Amino acid sequence: MAKAIKNVHKIAVTEEQKRKDDLREVEDALIKNKDAILQTMDIMSHMQDKGILSLLNGLFGQGDKVLEIAVKAMDKPENTNTLKNLLLLSGSLGMINVQQLEPFLLKLNSGIARMAEFKDTEEKTGYFDIVRSLKDPDINKSITILLQFLKGMGQDTQHYEKTNQDTQKQRINQSENKTLE
């Protein structure tokens, strides 16, 4: 005779047993990840030394508030502009061809070195000195490079610009010029 029943006596897990099980679980995890944990400890210790932990503690402890303040601060025009400039500059940096720039930078370096050497000179340069200087192969080379640079700077680069709104025509061309890729 088995009447319908609804009562269920749950297996009562004693505080002590629960603690034992939990500890066991933690212990297993520790052993399984021994190396990672030891290394993490090292990192944490460094972070403690530098005061980073207490900083993070404050940050996370007040997560929503801090985020809100940060977001509100960022949402001011000058700050969004900073971010925007950063993004634009990093984009522009990417366009510089370092391979081409390198020899130029080296030359610039030696120019600066020489400049430093003569920084306190009393020597004066007259018009004829300049004309005569053109015969010096080093100076002549520099001038030629500078002239080429000026020519390049004068070329139209508008279609590479990211900061302007596009015209209809340009927008269609974007895909052809692959400026987004």
Partner 1 sequence: MSESFYVKINGSETKAEKDQTILNLLSNTSSQVPHVCYHPSLGPIETCDTCIVKVNGEFVRACSTKLEDGDDVDTNSDEVKEAQVIGMDRILINHELYCTVCDYNNGTCEVHNTVKEMKINHQSIPFDHKPYEVDSSNPFYRYDPDQCILCGRCVEACQDVQVTETLSIDWDRERPRVIWDKDVPINESSCVSCGHCSTVCPCNAMMEKGMEGEAGYMTGINRETLRPMIEITKGVETGYGSILAISDMESAMREQRIKKTKTVCTFCGVGCSFDVWTKGREILKVEPQIDAPANGISTCIKGKFGWDFVNSEERLTKPLIREGDAFREASWDEALNLIAKKFTEIKTQHGSQALTFISSSKCTNEESYLMQKLARGVIGTNNIDNCSRYCQTPATMGLFRTVGHGGDSGSIKDIEKSELVIVIGSNTSESHPVLATRIKRSHKLHNQKLIVADLRKHEMADRADLFIQPRAGSDLVWLSAVTKYILDKGWADNEFLSTHVNGLEEFTKNLEKFTLEYAEKATGLPQETLVHIAETISQSKSVCVLWAMGVTQHMGGSDTSTAISNLLLVTGNYGRPGVGSYPLRGHNNVQGASDFGSMPDRLPSYEKVSDEKVRAKYEQAWGVKIPEEPGLNNHEMVQGIMDGNVKAMYLKGEDMGIVDSNINHVHAAYEKLDFFVVQDLFLTRTAEFADVVLPASPSLEKEGTFTNTERRIQRLYQVLEPLGDSRPDWQIIQDIANRLGAGWNYKHPSDIMEEAAQLAPLFAGVSYERLEGYKSLQWPVAPDGTDTPVLFTDGFPFDDRKAKLHPVDWTEPKEFGEEYDIHVNNGRLLEHFHEGNMTYKSEGITSKTPNTFLEISHDLAKERGIKDGTLVRLSSPYGSVKVHCLITDRVKGKEVYLPMNDSGEASINLLTSSYSDKDTDTPAYKETSAKLEILQVEGVNPLPKINFRYGNPQPQIGVAVDKKWARKDYIFPGDVVKKERKQHG
Q: Which stretches of the chain bind partner 1, using CB under 8 A? A: 1-11, 64, 67-68, 71-72, 74-75, 77, 80, 83-84, 87-88, 91, 162-163, 165-166, 168, 171-172, 174-175, 179-181
CB 134 within 8 A of CB 140: yes
Nearest to 166 by CA among 180, 154, 150: 180
Shorter beta-carbon distance to partner 1: residue 91 or 103: 91
- Looking at the Cβ atoms of 24 and 84, the one nearer to partner 1 is 84
Taking the CA atoms of residue 16, residue 20, residue 22 and residue 24 in that order, the dihedral angle to the nearest 10 degrees is: 180
Nearest to 144 by CA among 171, 179, 107, 116: 107
Nearer to partner 1, 71 or 113 (CB): 71
| d(C-alpha 111, C-alpha 143), whole Å | 12
In the complex with partner 1, the residue whose CB is nearer, 71 or 116, is 71
We find the least distance from the C-beta atom of residue 56 to partner 1, in angstroms, to be 18
How far apart are CB 76 and partner 1 at their closest, in Å?
10
Q: How far is the CB of 81 from partner 1 (least distance, A)?
A: 8
Between vectors from CA 20 to CA 15 and to CA 26, what angle results, nearest 5°? 125
Least distance (Å) between residue 21 CB and partner 1? 13
